[in-house]
Amino acid sequence: MRAILRRRLVILASALLAIGCGGPPVDLRQGLEITIVSTGWFDAGIVDGKNKLVPSVSFTIKNLSDQGLNSLQMMGSFFRVTDTNSEWGNTLLSVTRSEGLAPGATTALLTLRSPLGYTGTEPRDEMLRNSVFVDAMVKLVAKYGSVQWTHVKEVPIERQLITQ
């Protein structure tokens, strides 16, 4: 029993040392290359008898730094373009766990979708053409390990329907 506990403590201590001694912090504005693959309005199905569309962004991340980025996270804060001071919705994504993102490595395709969007009774493609429809944008922020959140990119959401 003690041997198992001792082994677990050694593993935990090793993991904490690996995370804590990863070298100097990386400037994520320079250390990450965000490649936007697509943006648009995702068909979120029917909610309370109405069609729902939410803003969506899909992208990849490449680690341009010379260090592994442990526990990399991304958050997308969505805004209406007419009010970029009031967040409309946000989504948090754990990009990597403790394995991190190695120097030079690129993630698989990642997608962030706002939990909030528009609902309407008209067909989804007509919702996008509605005269009161307001476009959106997303501000992407990133962090790894215990580093503070860093703004890395702003992206307008295209006015196109996404079904997958």
Dihedral sign for Cα atoms in the order 75, 80, 85, 89: negative
pLDDT for res 34: 97
Q: How far apart are CA 138 and CA 78, in angstroms?
A: 4
- pLDDT of amino acid 61: 97
Domain 25-162: give its CATH architecture.
Answer: Sandwich (2.60)
What is the pLDDT confidence band of residue 12, given thresholds at 50, 70 and 90? Answer: very low
Residue 15 pLDDT exceeds 80: no
pLDDT, average across residues 63-78? 94
Long-range contacts of 9-15 (CB under 8 A, 24+ apart): 15/98
Q: Mean pLDDT, the chain, as a whole number? A: 87
Q: What is the pLDDT of residue 1?
A: 53
State yes or no: pLDDT of 11 exceeds 50.
no
Helix (H) or strand (E) holding 129: helix 124-129
**Radius of gyration (Cα) for the chain, nearest Å?**
20
pLDDT digits (tens, 9 = 90+) for 88-99: 999 999 999 778
Q: Examine the pLDDT at 23 and tell me if it is beyond 70.
A: no
Q: Which two tokens stand for residue 98?
A: 């403790």
Q: So what's the pLDDT on residue 10?
A: 39
User: 21 pLDDT exceeds 70?
Assistant: no
pTM of the predicted model as reported, rounded to 2 decimal places: 0.82
Q: What are the boundaries of each domain within the chain? A: 25-162
Q: Please answer whether residues 110 and 59 qualify as being in contact, where contact means their C-beta atoms are separated by less than 8 angstroms.
A: yes
